[in-house]
Structure 1
Amino acid sequence: MEYIKSVFDLIFPTKNLCYFCNEDELKIENYICRSCRNNIEIVNKEVFLDSSFISECYYTTIYDRFMKDIIRRYKFNDKSFLYKPLGEILLKTIYEKNLDKKVDLIAFVPSHRRKEAIRGYNQSELLAMFVSKELHIPLLKTLIKSNHTLDQHFLDKEDRKHNLKDVFKVKRKEDVEEKSILLIDDIITSGSTMEECAMELIKNEAKAIFALALTSSRKI
């Protein structure tokens, strides 16, 4: 039994281990050591999208070298446990902007089942699940991605819009009717993904959509 526990501790961070750098420190705060916290620039900044479907859109941190590396590891290096410290980071914007008082449901940008099967998880869903649990606000799972598409980061702004056209669907309209929804993703670039998801939710008579991402690489 002790052997199994030792192996588990090697794979998954313990309570005194920083989830980002694996530094062993007694004063870990929200799964992050002091050094890594100092590398995260929290801005809680609003993104002004030209959108008829999103009421407010925010991101939490500056997209610098540190955050770029963290998100890359989270999405592509099988570090699914990073949803915990990243979820705590998202809560900073939620509380500062009072988003927890404005919404009835927490939603996430869905992945196509093929991509999710390859990666093993949807990084945005894990963040939304964490936020939902912490805020005691129900998690919405009725928004799906019906078609497999090219990865957005390979495309320019115009191609991003066409790539996602009509790929998001609401399975049960009654789940979103007259609801204010917080839509969560890991990163905002052009805003096309958030916009397409929000459009589908509003089309199914959601009351309002608020959007939130960890960071933004969007060119202003």
Structure 2
Amino acid sequence: MGNGIVKNLRFLWDCVLQVIYSTDENCVLCGQDLFGEGFMCNDCEERIRFCEDAFQVERHGTSFNCYSISYYSGGMMELVLMLKYKSNFRAGETIANYMIKRIEKEKIEFDAVTYIPMSKKSLKKRGYNQSKYLAKTIGDALNKPLVSYLCKIKDTKDQIGLSGNERWNNVQESFDVIDKINVKNKNILLVDDVITTGATAFSCADQLMKKGAKKITILTAAKSKV
């Protein structure tokens, strides 16, 4: 009984300290004071190399339109790493806000938003799927449903360090659609954190199309080499 009371008091005290020493008015990257809306100071935002143009991910005559907020370097790389490996969801919210602005700018229309799934082993190790977090934040902001259309059915090697062909071979037949009814005739926004060769995103998008989706648009926080 006594231990329970102590734990509750500690929890309440932690909440009070978070309010008193909140960092919500500081730059998510450098900690500099902010005097307006947003999560980043101008100096840190200037370190993001924004991508203005759409591109296509193509394989065997099939292609999908893809948008990336920036190149995988500088400020955006730091934000992705903070979300992915340090559980910094304020960094994730910052990324998602950029993605939402891009959706509105490009007038991307979609019925539902989904994400690149992780294997059960990887999900258990990390505790969360960073791409799902981004997708949910986007869906909540734009009043679109988050649907877990996909699952990973085969463990794969880490894509880091693999050549282009090795990446494509590594993810081949690694994903499947688990919601085969609701996917039909849907315009779907597929979200991920980083796209390199496009092998993973293409494999997921291709599965969705084969199961009856009408159109797939890929949106990532950053791109590297594509």
Q: Is the 8 A contact 2:112 2:187 kept in 1?
A: yes
Is there any run of 5+ residues in structure 1 with no aligned partner, and where? none
1:75 counterpart = 2:84:
yes
Residue of 15, 20, 29 corresponding to 2:24: 15
**C-alpha separation between the residues in 2 aligned to 1:116 and 1:91?**
25
Q: Secondary structure at the match of 2:168?
A: helix
Superposed counterparts of 1:198-213, under 5 Å: 198-213=205-220
**C-alpha separation between the residues in 1 aligned to 2:49 and 2:138?**
20
Q: In the TM superposition, what whole-angstrom CA distance separates every residue of 1:27-68 from its partner, at most 9, and x where no partner exists?
A: 242x22232222223323212322455441111113223322
Runs of 4+ in 1 over 6 A off after TM superposition: none
**C-alpha separation between the residues in 2 aligned to 1:37 and 1:66?**
7
Query: 2:52 matched to which residue of 1?
Result: 44
Task: Report the residue type matching 2:80 in the other structure.
Answer: I
Superposed counterparts of 1:110-121, under 5 Å: 110-121=117-128
Q: 1:55 to 1:149 in 2, by over 3 A?
A: closer
1:139 counterpart = 2:154:
no
1:127 counterpart = 2:134:
yes
1:158 counterpart = 2:165:
yes
Is there any run of 5+ residues in structure 2 with no aligned partner, and where? 1-8
Q: 1:13 to 1:74 in 2, by over 3 A?
A: farther
Q: 1:80 to 1:15 in 2, by over 3 A?
A: closer
Alpha-carbon RMSD across the aligned residues, in angstroms, is 2.1
Higher CA-based Rg:
2
Q: Secondary structure at the match of 1:153?
A: coil
**C-alpha separation between the residues in 2 aligned to 1:13 and 1:33?**
17
Give the share of equivalent positions with the same residue, in percent: 27
